[in-house]
């Protein structure tokens, strides 16, 4: 009796929602730390600042960020010139809807250490400024065969100086024992980077504090005091 019942996906839940030009312009005005959130309760999107988001929430999550906007607009301007903005808005809206089901699956599978790292980074003055990027890391780089580890890359802007950005690549499931990679850049130039197995919240907290210390040390070395 159920053979003709259509399959409903999470993306269908957002079929009436839309990411608009006004949202992206608001995102641009907010600047680093600005994000567009998917709200599973309201079945829609809204623009806010990352520090208002609970990193432990599975019902409100980032789908697009200020960093994504800057990077996307630069590329679309090269390709479409005067039509760049219109093309970008359409692409963001379509790609967000197309990947919504997969994004929710990754959010649900995100382990507690990833969440704790996000909480520690937020508390120490680093704001998520891009949508989390989920991907499979192969055990042997260059050989695209199993086994793979599901990873997430989070990008942060330093609230003290948003030209300082931090990227944290972590396994979704910390029990795999896979290494994480933390990198700090200044206006796109490499500052520091190191691998670390973030297997529990205590290690995550210590590494977040190290990020803060390394970023502060770099700022002291490179910024002129007034």
Residue 109's pLDDT is 93
Alpha-carbon distance of 174 to 117, in angstroms, equals 12
Q: Where are any strands of DSSP class E within the chain?
A: 34-39, 44-49, 60-65, 126-128, 133-138, 148-158, 164-171, 180-186, 189-196
Alpha-carbon distance of 134 to 102, in angstroms, equals 9
Phi-psi group of 46: left, alpha or beta (phi > 0 → left; psi -120 to 50 → alpha; rest → beta): beta
Task: Show me where the domains of the chain are located.
Answer: 10-108, 111-222
Predicted TM-score (pTM) of the model is 0.90
Alpha-carbon distance of 194 to 160, in angstroms, equals 22
Alpha-carbon distance of 165 to 156, in angstroms, equals 5
Cα–Cα distances in Å, from 125 out to 161, 162, 208? Answer: 10, 10, 10
Alpha-carbon distance of 44 to 204, in angstroms, equals 32
Residue 46's pLDDT is 96
Per-residue confidence in pLDDT tens, the chain, 226 aa: 334 434 556 667 777 889 999 999 999 999 999 999 999 888 899 999 999 999 999 899 999 999 999 999 999 999 999 999 999 999 999 999 999 999 999 999 999 999 999 999 999 999 999 999 999 987 766 666 677 899 999 999 999 999 999 999 999 998 888 999 999 999 999 999 999 999 998 999 999 999 999 999 999 999 875 5
Going by C-beta distance under 8 Å and a sequence separation of 6 or more, which residues neighbour residue 87?
76, 79, 80
Alpha-carbon distance of 69 to 65, in angstroms, equals 6
């Amino acid at each position: 009796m159920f053979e003709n019942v259509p399959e409903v996906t999470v993306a269908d839940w957002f079929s009436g929602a839309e990411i608009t030009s006004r949202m992206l312009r608001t995102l641009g005005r907010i600047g680093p730390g600005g994000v567009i959130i998917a709200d599973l309760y309201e079945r829609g999107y809204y623009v806010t600042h990352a520090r208002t988001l609970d990193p432990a929430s599975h019902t409100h999550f980032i789908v697009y960020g200020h960093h994504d906007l800057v990077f996307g607009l630069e590329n679309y301007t090269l390709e479409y010139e005067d039509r760049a903005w219109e093309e970008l808005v359409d692409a963001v809206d379509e790609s967000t809807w197309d990947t919504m089901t997969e994004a929710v699956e990754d959010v649900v599978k995100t382990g507690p250490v990833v969440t704790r790292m996000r909480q520690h980074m937020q508390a120490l003055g680093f704001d998520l400024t891009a949508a989390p990027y989920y991907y499979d890391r192969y055990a042997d780089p260059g050989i695209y065969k199993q086994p793979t580890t599901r990873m997430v890359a989070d990008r942060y802007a330093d609230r003290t100086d948003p030209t300082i950005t931090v990227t944290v690549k972590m396994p979704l499931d910390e029990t795999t024992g896979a290494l994480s990679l933390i990198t700090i850049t200044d206006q796109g130039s490499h500052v520091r980077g190191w691998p670390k197995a973030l297997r529990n919240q205590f290690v995550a907290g210590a590494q977040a504090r190290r990020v803060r210390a390394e970023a502060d040390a770099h700022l002291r070395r490179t910024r002129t005091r007034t």
